[in-house]
Structure 1
Amino acid sequence: MSQVTLSIRYLRDEQMLLHQGGLYWLSIDQVGDAEVLGRQFLGALEKVRSATLVCCAQDPKQLVAKLDKRLGPVELRLFEVTEADIRLALTSLPLELNRAAVARGSPIVLILPVVSWQGFEILHLQRWCENMAIWLRQRACTLLVLCHGQAPKLHADLIRLNERLSGLAQLYRRDGGIRYQLNYWHSYLGVCSTQEFELDAQPDGFGLTQIERSNPQPTRIEDQRLYLTLRSVLEGAPPLSQQWHLFENYDDLFFEASRVRAATVIVGVTSNLQVEALAQQLYDLRERCGSSLKIIVRELASCLRYRDERLLLSCGANITVPHGTSLAYFFSLVDSVQGQIWRHSRTIDFKALLERLRPPVERGVLSPHRFIATLDQVYDGAAGEVSHQLLKLQPRNDLSIEQYIDQINLRRFGDIACVLDGALYLFLFACRADGVAPALRKICRLPWNNLFSECQFFSGVDGLPRQAFLDAQNTPVSVYLAATTTDAGSVSNSQQHAYAPQRTTLPVTEYCP
């Protein structure tokens, strides 16, 4: 028997050859693409061969009318099944092919819409595949099923029937391109699985794109078109397609997400108190599912700090979507992460990462010695997940230390300062360079440039005059800040260092009637 092939240009033989007696299934989103691929397959058959084309709910003559007369088998037998008779024809297909006297050893093409399989449960579908496989082996025929329309559940069932099918693949359009996803494929040359290719569409059929031919072909996973999302993230909007699965709670979402490998998982966050627990879940999910999984965190209320974002990204998120992003633009961001591979290190220790990203339990004005010791603690354990800002602020000449210190309010844990040689050294934990100016506006009660004449940046603790800090006398008690308020949720153990109330008696200086 001569070779039978899909004839997709530049695809390797082991990825498109069909063996004798095999049952191959291609799920194709658009009917037009199914027709093009059907003609491409028929056109590649040698002229000495006889072939059979069965079309359900469409005229086979119209399909082959565009086939080059110089191509294809010498004899091409055409059969049409009406829409009303499709289910009956599928159930009795081996008998119908016997009645049609299909030639032994000939290839058969079956083109039908996906709605034809409505009502076929997994066991019914399994029996159909088994019966067809037996008939094909007995007659040494090869059957290619081109099923057009979207049916994620049907395709998921077919993946489980890998012992009954000889090959399974998908052809769909996305982001302006044509994707051919090969789930598994048996041929005389061996077995291929979990690969995806980008195709070009030409009048005579499909072929690999120039970029695809020049680059190594990546391994793909069959669930990459699935979207698993928390229902609240969509703001009441319905699922965009059958590939979208909505969940009411995190437990169900993460349970299902733990079973996929390249799907898109979308979660929401409403408070920074959720961040560390969510980061642990993302870390575990990424460890289990690998780097092809796409994880998106949407901020449902304005709550994520820079440190929180970096923690989530380091633990597995591909992207965080800020609060206030419109739903339409959110969907655009979801599309933008498709095909991404998570590139962060997968060898990090979660507890060590959490400790690095937790601010020191210090705030306000410290002594120079304590200030430099705190900086050593932060920078010695840093691994690049977040950036910090270290500044030297030179006060204006007409201000005393007490005057400009009184205008500064450091509330966050990790934001510390000290006075050395009349200058204010300020450290901002987990702060980007573009966040310095907004931070200074919050820290200073007056405009900061009215208090200070110069601002100098240091890249790290090594740029400081260390010996001067170690030799400096303690800062006078009068310039220490009594930080009486903190941002909620800044550190988990902040209550251990909260101020305790003390009883006191106030003298009465005048009579109150």
Structure 2
Amino acid sequence: MSQVSLAIGHLRDEQMYLRQGGLYWIAADLAGDAAALARQCLASMPAHAEATLVCCGHSSQTLAEALPADQGPGELTLFDIAEPAMGLALKSMVGELTRAVATPGNVIVLMLPASAWQSEAAPALRHWCQTLSGWLSRRRCTLLVICHGQAPQLHERLLRLNETLSGLGQLYRRDGGIRYQLHYWHSELGVCSGQELELELGEQGFMLSATEQANPQLTHTDDQRIYLTQRSVLEGSPALSDQWRLFESRDDLLLQARHARAASVIVAIDSNQQVEGLARQLHALRERCGSGLKIIVREVEPCLRYRDERLLVSCGANITVPYGTTLAYFFSIIDSVQGQTWRHSRQTDFQSLFERLRPPAERGLMMPAEFLNTVTRIYGGASGEISHQLLKLTPRGALDIEQYLNQISLRRYGDIACVVNGDFYLFLFACRADGLEPALGNICRLAWRDLFSAFQILPGVDALPRDIFLSAAELPPTFHLAEERTAGSSAQVAERGAYAPERFTLPISDVCP
């Protein structure tokens, strides 16, 4: 049996072993997570193994040097691919591997950004996988592809290749934790599919979280069909049955809920100012009662923003129900969460969580280097609770860049922009993908599609041309004025003396009888 595996601590062998001749694919959102998984896999290989590391977007030498001296394959061959040549390298991959890998049974780790498949020179994904799978089977070699970068369309295409790929997994950050989605995995020990696991990243690499290791199995409890509810969430309706317990105040409800284990706890919220306090209460309740409790937050007045929803879910809520949901549909939502297990991290550092969810103090137009540093800081502290949008917009060219900037108004803190080589880069803090169109409509005074000819969503800060941003020249004075108009406060305007009032007297020329 093959001794090659992902080596994720405490994961079952059938969930991570790689069979000889197999083609496996792991999609990681972050480049750092992809590198950590590759090091972990290589370090776990036996001393008699022969392996090949092919990198694009990473340094193979740096990865190899990070391996402990007494761990890893006995022979490790290193190759690097320049990013501009990614598409052509993929097209000629079988020929290049035939030339470079002479030994049957070799283990190949291929690391590349997900954007490699967006290149015009990239081959068709299905044909590439089928061709490579046949080559691996004939050579009795094993290939592990680890790509990094958010690429939902690529993931959808990979899901349809379960007859070609031996295994497919996703590694991503969400709600303060690290998630590993095992779509399917075929090894000599059997087949696994449809599993989502929580991981932790330590000095030795990835391992199952303490919660997953405990593997709590929900059993039948006397309160699993009990509904502890604030009266206001039912819109004046009476209790539906004897299983429903109604409470006038939230404090009384949460006090009673401290004794529950699998009941449904339904809380109302009607003000944005209640969010932080409720989040702390839900976290304390979740810590005391465990993951079997179903906590539902209903918005009885329109008050929750996207950031607030993510905070409540990260701190213990199973789901938040938006304002305007009909009572009949609300009851359907309650039924849908029955049997669920809350799978978020219970080891929440409130201060760290609030810092991640709090928008930065900056807004408006920035210097390119300052923009890069701010976005890097935000992405570096992210743990997946909220999503942001990073865009590259190309002006249509009929106007000067300053005239375009006069049509942009960035009022929210955390919404920043810069101009590099005539392109407009825009970062929107705490913005979902489905909220992007309305956000652009609010930012642009004219229709944004009339202002820009090209529109590209960037997967993260790694997609920015760092060297160009750091070397970009400072903005001319007119751009600084545009920045002040966008981001300046009323106090700053007053300091500049704009619209300063002057006292004068109007003469009375006519007297009415």
> Structure 2-normalised TM-score?
0.53
- Check 1:461–1:217 CA distance in 2 against 1; reply closer, same or farther (3 A cut): closer
Separation in structure 2 between the aligned mates of residue 407 and residue 509 of structure 1, nearest angstrom:
35
The answer to whether the 8 A contact 1:364-1:480 is kept is yes
The answer to whether the 8 A contact 1:401-1:479 is kept is no
1:56-67 alignment runs, 5 A limit: none
Specify the alignment match of 1:347 in structure 2: 347
* 3-state secondary structure, aligned to 2:261: coil
The answer to whether the 8 A contact 1:314-1:344 is kept is yes
Counterpart amino acid of residue 479 in structure 1: A
* 3-state secondary structure, aligned to 1:252: helix
Specify the alignment match of 1:152 in structure 2: none
Specify the alignment match of 1:299 in structure 2: 299
Q: Does 1:226 align with 2:229?
A: no
Separation in structure 1 between the aligned mates of residue 507 and residue 408 of structure 2, nearest angstrom:
37
From 480, 484, 494, the counterpart of 2:483: 480
1:178-193 alignment runs, 5 A limit: none
Gapped regions of structure 1 (runs ≥ 5): 1-215, 486-496
* 3-state secondary structure, aligned to 2:268: strand
1:417-496 alignment runs, 5 A limit: 417-475=417-475, 476-483=479-486
Deviation at 1:303, TM superposition (A): 2.2
* 3-state secondary structure, aligned to 1:434: helix
Separation in structure 2 between the aligned mates of residue 273 and residue 469 of structure 1, nearest angstrom:
39
Separation in structure 1 between the aligned mates of residue 396 and residue 505 of structure 2, nearest angstrom:
43
Separation in structure 2 between the aligned mates of residue 220 and residue 296 of structure 1, nearest angstrom:
20
Separation in structure 1 between the aligned mates of residue 359 and residue 457 of structure 2, nearest angstrom:
20
* 3-state secondary structure, aligned to 2:219: coil
Deviation at 1:247, TM superposition (A): 1.3
- Check 1:276–1:366 CA distance in 2 against 1; reply closer, same or farther (3 A cut): same
- Check 1:506–1:328 CA distance in 2 against 1; reply closer, same or farther (3 A cut): closer
Separation in structure 2 between the aligned mates of residue 271 and residue 483 of structure 1, nearest angstrom:
29
Separation in structure 2 between the aligned mates of residue 319 and residue 267 of structure 1, nearest angstrom:
11
Specify the alignment match of 2:142 in structure 1: none
Separation in structure 1 between the aligned mates of residue 493 and residue 415 of structure 2, nearest angstrom:
25
Specify the alignment match of 2:405 in structure 1: 405
* 3-state secondary structure, aligned to 1:394: strand
Separation in structure 2 between the aligned mates of residue 439 and residue 502 of structure 1, nearest angstrom:
29
The answer to whether the 8 A contact 1:359-1:429 is kept is yes
Separation in structure 2 between the aligned mates of residue 306 and residue 259 of structure 1, nearest angstrom:
31
Separation in structure 2 between the aligned mates of residue 364 and residue 268 of structure 1, nearest angstrom:
36
The answer to whether the 8 A contact 1:295-1:319 is kept is yes
Specify the alignment match of 1:382 in structure 2: 382
Separation in structure 2 between the aligned mates of residue 366 and residue 484 of structure 1, nearest angstrom:
10
Separation in structure 2 between the aligned mates of residue 359 and residue 252 of structure 1, nearest angstrom:
33
Counterpart amino acid of residue 321 in structure 1: V
Specify the alignment match of 2:59 in structure 1: none
Specify the alignment match of 1:247 in structure 2: 247
Separation in structure 1 between the aligned mates of residue 447 and residue 344 of structure 2, nearest angstrom:
39
The answer to whether the 8 A contact 1:299-1:321 is kept is yes
Separation in structure 2 between the aligned mates of residue 218 and residue 382 of structure 1, nearest angstrom:
31
Counterpart amino acid of residue 379 in structure 1: Y
Counterpart amino acid of residue 385 in structure 1: E
Deviation at 1:354, TM superposition (A): 1.5
The answer to whether the 8 A contact 2:364-2:487 is kept is no
Deviation at 1:359, TM superposition (A): 1.1
Separation in structure 2 between the aligned mates of residue 376 and residue 511 of structure 1, nearest angstrom:
57
Separation in structure 2 between the aligned mates of residue 469 and residue 246 of structure 1, nearest angstrom:
58
Larger radius of gyration: 1
- Check 1:484–1:395 CA distance in 2 against 1; reply closer, same or farther (3 A cut): closer
The answer to whether the 8 A contact 2:364-2:410 is kept is yes
The answer to whether the 8 A contact 1:389-1:433 is kept is yes
Counterpart amino acid of residue 480 in structure 2: V
Separation in structure 2 between the aligned mates of residue 484 and residue 369 of structure 1, nearest angstrom:
18
The answer to whether the 8 A contact 1:365-1:416 is kept is yes
Separation in structure 1 between the aligned mates of residue 347 and residue 320 of structure 2, nearest angstrom:
22
* 3-state secondary structure, aligned to 1:253: helix
Counterpart amino acid of residue 482 in structure 1: R
Separation in structure 2 between the aligned mates of residue 480 and residue 501 of structure 1, nearest angstrom:
12
Separation in structure 1 between the aligned mates of residue 338 and residue 231 of structure 2, nearest angstrom:
20
**Root-mean-square deviation (Å):** 2.3
Deviation at 1:369, TM superposition (A): 1.7
Q: Does 1:260 align with 2:260?
A: yes
Specify the alignment match of 1:320 in structure 2: 320
Specify the alignment match of 2:238 in structure 1: 238
Separation in structure 1 between the aligned mates of residue 446 and residue 353 of structure 2, nearest angstrom:
37
**Residues 414-460 of structure 1, C-alpha deviations (whole Å, 9 max, x = no match):** 11111111211100111122221111111111110011111111111
Dislocated runs of 4+, deviation >3 Å: 481-485, 497-513
Most deviating of 306-315 and 473-482: 473-482
1:267-282 alignment runs, 5 A limit: 267-282=267-282
**Residues 345-366 of structure 1, C-alpha deviations (whole Å, 9 max, x = no match):** 2223222112111111111111
Deviation at 1:481, TM superposition (A): 4.4
How many pairs align? 287
Gapped regions of structure 2 (runs ≥ 5): 1-215, 509-513
**Residues 441-493 of structure 1, C-alpha deviations (whole Å, 9 max, x = no match):** 111111100111111111110110112222223333122143579xxxxxxxx
**Residues 61-88 of structure 1, C-alpha deviations (whole Å, 9 max, x = no match):** xxxxxxxxxxxxxxxxxxxxxxxxxxxx
Counterpart amino acid of residue 357 in structure 1: L
Specify the alignment match of 2:372 in structure 1: 372
**Residues 121-164 of structure 1, C-alpha deviations (whole Å, 9 max, x = no match):** xxxxxxxxxxxxxxxxxxxxxxxxxxxxxxxxxxxxxxxxxxxx
Counterpart amino acid of residue 242 in structure 1: D
* 3-state secondary structure, aligned to 1:285: helix
Separation in structure 2 between the aligned mates of residue 456 and residue 501 of structure 1, nearest angstrom:
34
Separation in structure 1 between the aligned mates of residue 366 and residue 322 of structure 2, nearest angstrom:
35
Separation in structure 2 between the aligned mates of residue 342 and residue 377 of structure 1, nearest angstrom:
29
Counterpart amino acid of residue 399 in structure 2: L
